[in-house]
Amino acid sequence: MMTVPACRICFVAPTAYAPVSGREDVPFMGGAQIQQVLIARELSRRGHKVSFIIHDHGQPDGIEHEGILAWRMCSPFEGLPLLRFVHPRWTSLWRALSRARPDVVYQRGAGAETGQVALWCRRHRRPFIFAAASNSDCDPTLPYLPRRRERVLYRYGLYRADRVVAQTRDQIEAFERGFGIRAVLIRSCGQDPGTPSPRDPVVAGRPSALWVGRFSYEKRPEVMLAVARRCPEIYFDVVGAANALQAADDSIARQASRLPNVTLHGRVPHGKMAEFYARSSVLLLTSAWEGYPNTFLEAWARGVPTVSTVDPDGVITRYGLGRVGDSAEALAEAITHLTRDPALWRECSARARRFFVEHHGIAAAVNAYESLIAEVAGAGDPGRATNRAVAASMADQKVGACHGASGRVEEA
């Protein structure tokens, strides 16, 4: 472990109060927030002053949770429609940043906050690290950002970041291809629960598949139900709910209610997920796209193989961590094959556990982040100057082509 001078690191993660505080009554999005809390707690343990900027859920401002200070911005729905984008959302974010007094600011996931944070850092001469949370963050069409103001601010912030962090080599190539951005690779990390006890794929007399996610179009829960119909002998635990459209939630619930081998558990606190992994034969993922799913790490850490439609950097196929399929038929066949062959399942289970230990420990990820923080926070750091020169050059070429984003944002 390298020795890095302690500094104040602020994570801008408005929806992360649940994993920061442990409160089960506060909703949050998922893997990106959990990743940030894991990194932050290890940074705090190493002596850094770590803070989060989060939404107001009635908590005191500046409250500490296990070494993390939580600075409060506005509540999620505070303010008047249209106007609240600027006040109180933008103004409260900047005020919270000023109270945090960071040496380095970290923000994860494409959004308007990327540009808002970059502007604050530029004004206050603080380095800014942006990290991708999904492959969609590297897609120049920005499918998750429907509003023009969000796309403009995201592009602005992306080009002004002192460092851009990718989860996979695929994302590095996508940033270069789509934005001309030179990203650095820091793999996602997970909490190690310890070596699991030896077991077979079948627990409590019946093989089971675990599906975890939001009921949203990119997660494709309807594909999961199609797999369940093709595997009547497999029990499906479904953890999650709709993120926006209640109609989608109702549709999935109605279809699932007709399948005797599917149980909807709704939203489950992250701290209670271990029991689901412990009784699962496989983790099933049906998304159209992902970044590097936290559920993969949590499953592999416990020796649970993955059956998935996505394979980040090809690791599932290359290291034999489960199976990859592009259709409900292929996924169903993979689940059936794995659960009917105990010897094959145990081999996949052992490889999954070994891959997690070798590639996704918290210490390795935080070592990389400490090195990155030292680079951007160092006085007269030549790497930082080079990165900003590249960013300025690419901004002229790319941002100007994207509706003149850079100039208009700076004038505002």
Domain match, 180 and 48 both:
yes
Q: Are 266 and 407 in a shared domain?
A: no
Q: What is the pLDDT of residue 243?
A: 55
Name 71's bridge partners: 53
Closest by CA position to 384, among listed 396, 393, 372, 395: 372
Residue 201 domain-assigned? no
The CATH number given to whatever domain includes residue 289 is 3.40.50.2000
Q: Is residue 406 part of a domain?
A: yes
Residue 3 lies in a domain: no
What domain range includes position 163? 8-189+362-411
293 shares a domain with 383: no
Q: Which residues of the chain have pLDDT under 50?
A: 244-247, 379-412
Q: Label residues 343-357 b or e (16+ Cβ within 10 Å = b).
A: eebbebbebbbebbe
Nearest to 30 by CA among 217, 269, 299, 250: 269
pLDDT score at 408: 32
The answer to whether residues 237 and 382 belong to one domain is no
Q: Are 372 and 352 part of one and the same domain? A: no
Same domain, 318 and 259: yes
Residues 248 and 307 in one domain: yes
Domain assignment present for residue 198? The answer is: no
pTM, whole model, 2 decimals? 0.87
Please give the tally of structural domains in the chain: 2
Instruction: Classify residue 194: in a domain, yes or no.
Output: no
Same domain, residue pair 29 and 99: yes
Phi-psi region of 62 (alpha: psi -120 to 50; beta: other; left: phi over 0): left
Do both 133 and 167 map to the same domain? yes
What is the predicted pLDDT for the residue at 29?
Answer: 60
- 44: in domain: yes
What one-letter code names the amino acid at 119? L
pLDDT for 395? 44
Output phi, psi for 211, to 5 deg. -120, 130
Nearest to 279 by CA among 351, 190, 205, 193: 205
Domain boundary among 320, 338, 359: 359
**Co-location of 115 and 218 in the same domain:** no
Given strand 128-131, what is the order of strands in its sheet? Answer: 63-65, 68-72, 49-54, 8-12, 104-108, 128-131, 163-166, 184-185
Do 247 and 383 lie in a common domain? no
Q: Do 245 and 98 fall within a single domain? A: no
**CA-based angle 355:360:366, to the nearest 5?**
160
**Which one of 321, 344, 359 terminates a domain?**
359
Please indicate, yes or no, if residue 202 is contained in any of the structural domains.
no
User: Distance (Å, rounded) from C-alpha 322 to C-alpha 300?
Assistant: 10
Judge whether 197 lies within some domain: no
Instruction: Name the domain boundary from 359, 375, 398.
Output: 359
- C-alpha distances (whole Å) from 65 to each of 17, 105, 116, 191, 362 are 10, 19, 26, 18, 19
